[in-house]
Structure formats: structure tokens, C-alpha cells
Amino acid sequence: MGSERGRNQPSVDVEVDDAGRIIVNAPEIATQLREAKSSSPAMARTVINNGCNLVPMCGFTPQE
């Protein structure tokens, strides 16, 4: 997954990879997405970059 996701630019709040998939770097957005997920279990996956090479944060699971 990491190689597909393209460059990682922590300097920007949000980036997209070379297929247009979204990578969230901003903690403010990540927090809001977590809050939304906790209130809405159907929330789709978004990869949050927490400095862990684009590994999804705990609590986010891919939609089946």
C-alpha cells in the first residue's frame, strides 16, 4: 500500500496520491474524522498519516 500511495508530504494538511486517494496529515482533520467515525460506524476509510508510513490508524478498517 505504501508504494501505491505516492509521496508523503507532512507539510500539507491533505495530499492525494497518484490515483487521487486521500492522505490526511493534519491532526485537526484526523480528529474530526475519528469523531465522525465513532458516531457513524459506516464512515469510510481514510488513511491518516501519523508518521507511520501511511499505515491506517487504529480504529479505521476497510469497508468490506
Binding site for other proteins (CB under 8 A): 7, 9, 11-22, 24, 26, 28-29, 32-33, 35-37, 39-40, 43-47, 63
Q: Mapping DSSP to helix (H, G, I), strand (E, B) and coil, where does residue 55 land?
A: coil
CB-nearer residue toward other proteins: 35 or 52: 35
Q: What is the CA radius of gyration of the chain?
A: 11
> Please, what is the minimum distance in Å from the beta carbon of residue 25 to other proteins?
9
CB-nearer residue toward other proteins: 3 or 39: 39
Sheet holding 14-16, edge to edge: 14-16, 22-24, 47-48
Q: Mapping DSSP to helix (H, G, I), strand (E, B) and coil, where does residue 22 land?
A: strand
> Please, what is the minimum distance in Å from the beta carbon of residue 23 to other proteins?
9
